[in-house]
């Protein structure tokens, strides 16, 4: 399979913008936490015990079609830059990047399926899909989980379900999340209300937003919290309902904006697009807010902008470790800002 | 406002996280945001600022644990006090060892203390049947309480049938082994 340098040339296929509702939902992620019955959990196990986990996971994964093509990366062999790169690609966690000594990453076909080995749990199976595809993601995760389960003995109790290192994951071990973009709700200042509503139904929201009315990267990650007492489908369906509802609110807010301030909005979008196309120095944060504005324009149905896939690509490829991987050397922030502008230029003018 | 990570540059990136109705904010400068991986969408916060964990720990200090003393897991040797510090159990048996202390925590975090999702495929059928029996038993209790005896009889028959199927399977299993 490919090397990391090859990977750095394009984002994983799950960000290609082909999935349903791709303008509002960048991606869907489902992960399952699993542990092997006969070993202490990674935070407690001895190095020689943990060393036995990877071979059995790899052997089990080989029997799953999703891992017919497989890349195994050991944390001991990763440079700090490799780790940062894999974090930016959503394949390993920050915690794994910082603390893992005997961990590994098993990546399946096109990065949409992967297993993080020996993070805080022995296995963290991850499925990523483009757009809003919760049921597809959870079905695939369930299938691979069964395939792995055929050769592995999971720690499981009838009462508490899959046993995990942290009790916040015990039960299904399932965390599902959708990465959403809702600029109109931010612009019309309804976002606070919406966020409060989301948390009242047992979901969590994480994300960035700037102060004031400026649109600055209106991306939010909405995820489930409960893993005990709900089935996998129930957890995912409640997240799906909320995601659909947010999209409805967003559409209403967008209608109101178009009614009251159409020209002003379009002006903002086209200025952002112009800045992306012509700038020479582009800090990371500015890129995110400009990309958010252009994405907003695509959602509004404006013609002549670029497609969602390209916007996703810019978000991924412009991250620090991605920039350095592509250049194949360390780059200072100022150098990155120039190269970032070049990257954007190249992507937006190539059509 | 100064950056909460380096404390030098002005904070221009504002991160908000809401978990279980608890809102946490983090204000950092652009440089730290980029370096710490707080880059827009694609970085999860490296600086652990909240999450269900903190919330879970809050509820742990108010449980009955003081009365129970500092129990220890016989399998991995983890002490309850260590679990309290790290919020991570050491092994599968810890859930049994710290059962008394964990129950209220699980109830608070998840609103439940009983799994109702999938089971490992090898035991799936067995667990599913046992859960079915449990569900029917609850319905049966309700039916008796409401004096719906016809329904109760029907439910009782269903339970017997399932139980017979389970023991029957077991017997066949042992005779095969012999």
Average pLDDT over residues A37-46: 93
CB atoms within 10 A of CB B151: 15
Share of chain A above pLDDT 90, in %: 73
Contacts of B122 in chain A (CB under 8 A): 149
Q: Is the pLDDT of residue A203 over 70?
A: yes
Kindly report, residue by residue over A334-344, the tens digit of the pLDDT. Answer: 999 999 999 99
pTM (2 d.p.): 0.81
Query: Does B58 touch chain A if contact means CB atoms closer than 8 Å?
Result: no
Alpha-carbon separation of residue A15 from A90, A112, A124 (angstroms): 11, 10, 21
Q: How many CB atoms are located within 10 Å of the residue B11 CB?
A: 21
Q: Specify the pLDDT at position B42.
A: 35
For residues B75 and B124, give the distance between their C-alpha atoms in angstroms, rounded to a whole number. 26
* Residue in chain B lying closest to A315 (CA): B42
pLDDT at B27 over 80: no
CB contact under 8 A, A206 and B44: yes
- Give the whole-angstrom CA distance, residue A182 versus residue A130: 17
pLDDT in tens, A166-180: 999 999 999 999 999
| Minimal Cβ distance to B18: which of A160, A205, A333 | A205
Q: Which residues contact B133 (CB under 8 A, 6 or more apart)?
A: B159, B162, B163
- Band of pLDDT at residue B130, cut at 50, 70 and 90: confident
Chain A nearest-CA residue for B47: A94
Q: What is the pLDDT of residue B101?
A: 86
Q: Which residue of A has its CA nearest to B99?
A: A160
Give the strand pairing for A104-107 and A161-162: unpaired
Q: Tell me: the pLDDT tens digits for A13-34?
A: 888 888 999 989 999 999 999 9
Please tell me the predicted confidence (pLDDT) of residue B124.
Answer: 66
* Planar angle of CA A340, A302, A219, nearest 5 degrees: 50
By Cβ distance, the residue of B15, B19, B92 closest to A208 is B15
A10, two tokens: 């394009």
Q: What's the pLDDT tens digit per position in B28-46?
A: 776 666 655 544 333 343 3
Pick from A163, A217, A225: CB nearest B41: A217
What pLDDT shows up at residue B170?
A: 47
Torsion of CA B105, B110, B114, B117, to 10 degrees: -140
Q: Are the C-beta atoms of A164 and A59 separated by less than 8 Å?
A: no
A32 membership: H or E segment, kind and range: strand A25-34
The pLDDT score that the predictor gives to residue A2 is 66
pLDDT number for residue A209:
43
Task: Decide if A173 contacts A164 (C-beta within 8 A).
Answer: yes
* CA–CA gap between residue A58 and residue A236 (Å, rounded): 28
Select from A44, A198, A333 the Cβ nearest to the Cβ of B90. Answer: A44
Residue numbers in B near A44 (CB within 8 A): 76, 78, 88, 90-91
Whether the pLDDT of residue A246 is over 50: the answer is yes
- Specify the pLDDT at position B57: 59
Cβ distance of B39 and A228 shorter than 8 Å: no
The percent helix, strand, coil of chain B (3-state, each to 5) is 55, 10, 35
Which chain A residue lies closest to B45 (C-alpha atoms)? A94
Say whether the ipTM exceeds 0.90. no
- The pLDDT of residue B39 is 41
User: Would you give the DSSP letter of residue A178?
Assistant: E
For A243-283, the DSSP string reads HHHHHHHHHHHHHHHHHHHHHHHHHHHHHHHHHHHH-S---
Burial class from Cβ neighbours inside 10 Å (0-12, 13-18, 19+) for residue A218 reads buried
A173–chain B nearest CA distance, Å: 9
Computed over every residue of chain A, the mean pLDDT equals 91
The distance of B92 to chain A (nearest Cα, Å) reads 6
Residue B172 has pLDDT above 70, yes or no: no
Find, in chain B, the residue whose alpha carbon is nearest to that of A283: B30
Least confident interval from A38-42, A212-216, A298-302, A312-316: A212-216
DSSP of B32-62: HHHHTT--GGG---SS---SHHHHHHHHHHT
Per-residue burial over A263-278, b if 16 or more Cβ lie within 10 Å, else e, is eebeebbbebbebbbe
């Amino acid at each position: 399979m490919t090397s990391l340098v090859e990977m750095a040339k394009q984002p994983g296929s799950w960000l290609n913008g082909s999935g349903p509702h791709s303008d509002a939902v960048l991606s869907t992620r489902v992960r399952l936490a699993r542990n092997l019955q006969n070993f202490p959990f990674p935070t407690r196990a001895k190095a020689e015990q943990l060393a036995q986990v990877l071979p059995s996971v790899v052997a089990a994964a080989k029997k799953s079609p999703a891992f017919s093509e497989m890349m195994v990366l050991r944390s001991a062999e990763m440079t700090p830059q490799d780790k940062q790169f894999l974090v930016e690609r959503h394949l390993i966690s920050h915690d794994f990047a910082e603390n893992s000594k005997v961990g590994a990453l098993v990546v399946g076909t096109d990065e949409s399926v992967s297993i993080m080995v020996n993070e805080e749990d022995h296995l963290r199976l991850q499925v990523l899909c483009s757009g809003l595809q919760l049921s597809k993601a959870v079905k695939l995760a369930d299938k691979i989980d069964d395939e792995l389960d055929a050769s592995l003995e999971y720690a499981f109790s009838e009462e508490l379900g899959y046993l995990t290192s942290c009790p916040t994951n015990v039960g299904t071990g399932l965390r599902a999340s959708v990465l959403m973009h809702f600029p109109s709700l931010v612009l019309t200042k309804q976002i606070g209300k919406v966020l409060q509503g989301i948390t009242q139904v047992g979901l969590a929201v994480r994300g960035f937003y700037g102060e004031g009315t400026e649109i600055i990267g209106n991306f939010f990650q909405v995820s489930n919290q409960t893993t005990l007492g709900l089935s996998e489908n129930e957890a995912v369906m409640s997240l799906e309902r909320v995601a659909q509802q947010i999209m409805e609110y967003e559409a209403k807010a967008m209608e109101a904006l178009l009614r009251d301030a159409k020209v002003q909005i379009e002006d903002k979008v086209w200025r952002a697009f112009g800045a992306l196309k012509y700038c020479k120095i582009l800090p990371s944060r500015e890129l995110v807010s400009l990309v958010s504005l252009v994405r907003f324009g695509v959602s509004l149905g404006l013609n002549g902008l670029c497609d969602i896939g390209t916007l996703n690509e810019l978000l991924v490829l412009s991250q620090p470790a991605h920039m350095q991987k592509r250049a194949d050397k360390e780059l200072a922030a100022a150098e990155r800002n120039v190269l970032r502008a070049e990257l954007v230029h190249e992507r937006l003018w190539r059509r | 406002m100064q950056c909460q990570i380096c404390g030098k540059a002005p904070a221009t990136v504002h991160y908000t996280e809401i978990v279980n109705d608890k809102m946490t904010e983090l204000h950092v400068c652009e440089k730290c945001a980029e370096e710490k991986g707080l880059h827009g969408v694609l970085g999860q916060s490296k600086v652990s600022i909240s999450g269900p964990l903190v919330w879970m720990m809050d509820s742990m200090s108010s449980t009955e644990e003081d009365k129970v003393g500092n129990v220890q897991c016989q399998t991995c040797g983890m002490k309850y006090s260590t679990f309290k510090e790290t919020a991570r159990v050491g092994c599968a048996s810890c859930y049994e060892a710290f059962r008394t202390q964990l129950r209220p925590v699980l109830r608070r975090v998840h609103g439940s203390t009983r799994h109702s999702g999938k089971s490992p495929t090898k035991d799936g059928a067995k667990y599913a049947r046992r859960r079915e029996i449990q569900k029917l038993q609850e319905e049966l209790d309700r039916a008796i309480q409401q004096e719906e005896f016809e329904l109760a009889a029907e439910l009782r028959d269903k339970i017997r049938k399932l139980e017979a199927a389970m023991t029957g399977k077991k017997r066949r299993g042992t005779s095969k082994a012999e």
